[in-house]
């Protein structure tokens, strides 16, 4: 499956023992999900137009700020399977050791849930589903 190629290549290059993705803590899923989410957003923004760094950052902020991630959660929530909703809920209810700088606690927790879901889908090799949900969420912001 082509959409899983980068994950497979990473695991090949940096061997890691097999792990059931359901065994990861919600904060570990959110940690990897934050990076994957950011990579998808940055790729999308760069592919839209060749812009100055400041302009790239300004467009990217729209998608990565906790307030808008919380809106994305509300947009995609009705579309989630029971399993996906459970991962989102576990991520939202996790107790992060950091606090939101520019977001409400509620939005920050929803954003953490979204990042956990993205991380879960990525590590489970369900990149197509991850991108589908992100696209629906992004389209709902526009």
CATH (domain of 103):
1.10.1520.10
**Inside any domain, residue 137:** yes
Note if 34 is an active site residue.
yes
Domain count, the chain: 1
Q: Which pLDDT belongs to residue 142?
A: 78
Residue 102 pLDDT grade (very low, low, confident, very high; cuts 50, 70, 90): confident
**Inside any domain, residue 117:** yes
Q: Which is catalytic among the residues 34, 107, 139, 142?
A: 34
DSSP 76-91: HGGG--HHHHHHHHHH
**Inside any domain, residue 15:** no
**Inside any domain, residue 12:** no
Mean pLDDT calculated for residue range 71-87: 98
- Predicted structure pTM score: 0.92
> How are the residues of the chain apportioned to helix, strand and coil, as percentages rounded to the nearest 5?
75, 0, 25
Digit-coded pLDDT (tens) for 9-55? 888 889 888 889 999 999 999 999 999 999 999 999 999 988 888 99
**Inside any domain, residue 79:** yes
- Nearest CA to 114 out of 98, 138, 10 is that of 138
Q: Which pLDDT belongs to residue 23?
A: 93
* Cα(120)–Cα(33) distance, integer angstroms: 7
Q: Which domain, by its residues, includes 105?
A: 2-6+25-141
**Inside any domain, residue 92:** yes
Mean pLDDT of the chain: 91
Collapsing DSSP states into helix, strand and coil, what is residue 1? coil
Q: Which pLDDT belongs to residue 134?
A: 98
**Inside any domain, residue 59:** yes
* Cα(62)–Cα(77) distance, integer angstroms: 20
Reply yes or no on whether the pLDDT at 1 is more than 70. Answer: no
**Inside any domain, residue 50:** yes
């Amino acid at each position: 499956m082509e959409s899983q190629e980068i994950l497979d290549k990473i695991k090949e290059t940096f061997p890691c023992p097999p792990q059931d993705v359901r065994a990861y803590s919600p904060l570990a899923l959110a940690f990897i999900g934050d990076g994957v989410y950011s990579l998808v957003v940055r790729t999308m923004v760069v592919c839209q137009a060749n812009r100055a760094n400041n302009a790239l950052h300004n467009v990217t902020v729209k998608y990565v700020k906790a307030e808008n991630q919380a809106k994305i959660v509300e947009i995609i929530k009705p579309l989630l399977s029971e399993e996906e909703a459970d991962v989102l809920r576990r991520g939202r209810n996790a107790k992060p050791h950091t606090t939101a700088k520019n977001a409400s606690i509620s939005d920050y927790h929803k954003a953490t849930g979204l990042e956990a879901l993205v991380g879960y889908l990525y590590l489970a090799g369900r990149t197509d589903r991850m991108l589908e949900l992100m696209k629906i969420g992004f389209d709902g912001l526009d």
